[in-house]
Amino acid sequence: MFISKISSGFSVNNYRNNVSFQRRGMLSPLKADTFSFSGKVQEKSNEPQLKEKTIYIFLGPPASGKGTQAEKLAKKLNIAHISTGDLLREEVKNETKLGLEAREYMNSGRLVPTELFERILVDRISQKDCQKGYILDGFPRTEEQARMIDELNSEENAKIKVIQLVVDEDKLIERMTARAKYQNREDDTVDKLRTRIVVYNGVKDTLVNYYGDKVVPIDANLDISAVQSQINESIEEDLA
Ligand code: AMP
């Protein structure tokens, strides 16, 4: 697959250029093409600061509260929250070529092939608001995607922490039934959500094994603020 074509030691921008050259059937120039950002990053002294660049990966089944909790952590740390589901929904909404292709997969609860959206994800990660760290919500969802993150991070070697939201299945169904009523997501009917749980269960152990001691399990059966407190406690050690 795409990742095997990429040599190690690539930065996000080398990765991006290389993928683009491969797409066009050309050899990558493999040059160090670093991105420079102008302007100063605003540091507010009363905000919690990360000791080092950290990539937080939120892992959990649909309706586990990943989006809600990722959003809260992003606000607390003033870092970017990147949801691949949201990126894809935006493409669907704008009826782009990618959106039209992705929609088929999303509506049936299946995973969208990584090759279709890796470019928009890599572009997003190389933006300025990801310099201090970022949160990935809904990515990776396969071991291949996990390896992609490692490739992207191989030069910078940012710290990776996986926040795993663990929720009982009957609780998920209960939440999904409620969510299906007030959200207007085409993929959020209870049936389709069941498919998405099956897809998640199929890869969860692989990802947990892949990340090993980087994984912090969180009891996400509890209410939003109790889950948030556990997450805040788990990231305390990352703060300066
Ligand atoms: P989410 O909002 O994270 O539950 O994602 C909604 C849908 O978008 C999923 O059911 C997939 O069809 C697609 N999707 C989101 N993230 C990924 C990913 N990392 N890999 C493949 N498909 C994804």
* Closest residue CA from atom 2 of ligand 1: 85
| CB of 207 closer than 6 angstroms to any ligand 1 atom | no
Assess contact for 102 and 116: CB atoms under 8 A: yes
* C-alpha 140 – ligand 1 centre gap (Å): 9
Evaluate if residue 111 carries a pLDDT over 80: yes
pLDDT of amino acid 177? 79
* Tens digits of residue pLDDT in 6-32: 333 445 656 655 554 444 444 333 333
| CB of 163 closer than 6 angstroms to any ligand 1 atom | no
Evaluate if residue 118 carries a pLDDT over 90: yes
Q: Of 137, 133, 36, 156, which Cα lies nearest the Cα of 78?
A: 133
Q: What is the pTM of this model?
A: 0.83
What burial letters (b/e) apply to 2-33, b meaning 16+ CB within 10 Å? bbeebeeebbbbbbbbbbeeeeeeeebeeeee
Evaluate if residue 45 carries a pLDDT over 80: no
Average pLDDT over residues 163-173: 93
* Tens digits of residue pLDDT in 67-100: 999 999 999 999 999 999 999 999 999 999 999 9
pLDDT of amino acid 18? 56
| CB of 103 closer than 6 angstroms to any ligand 1 atom | no
* Closest residue CA from atom 12 of ligand 1: 106
Between 10 and 216, residue with greater pLDDT: 216
3-state SS of the chain is CHHHHCCCCCCHHHHHHHHHHHHCCCCCCCCCCCCCCCCCCCCCCCCCCECCCEEEEEECCCCCCHHHHHHHHHHHHCCEEEEHHHHHHHHHHCCCHHHHHHHHHHHCCCCCCHHHHHHHHHHHHCCHHHCCEEEEECCCCCHHHHHHHHHHCCCCCCEEEEEEEECCHHHHHHHHHHHHHHCCCCCCCHHHHHHHHHHHHHHHHHHHHHHHHHEEEEECCCCHHHHHHHHHHHHHHHEC
Neighbours of 192 (CB within 10 A): 19
| CB of 61 closer than 6 angstroms to any ligand 1 atom | no
What span, in angstroms and rounded, lies between the C-alpha atoms of 197 and 185?
Answer: 16
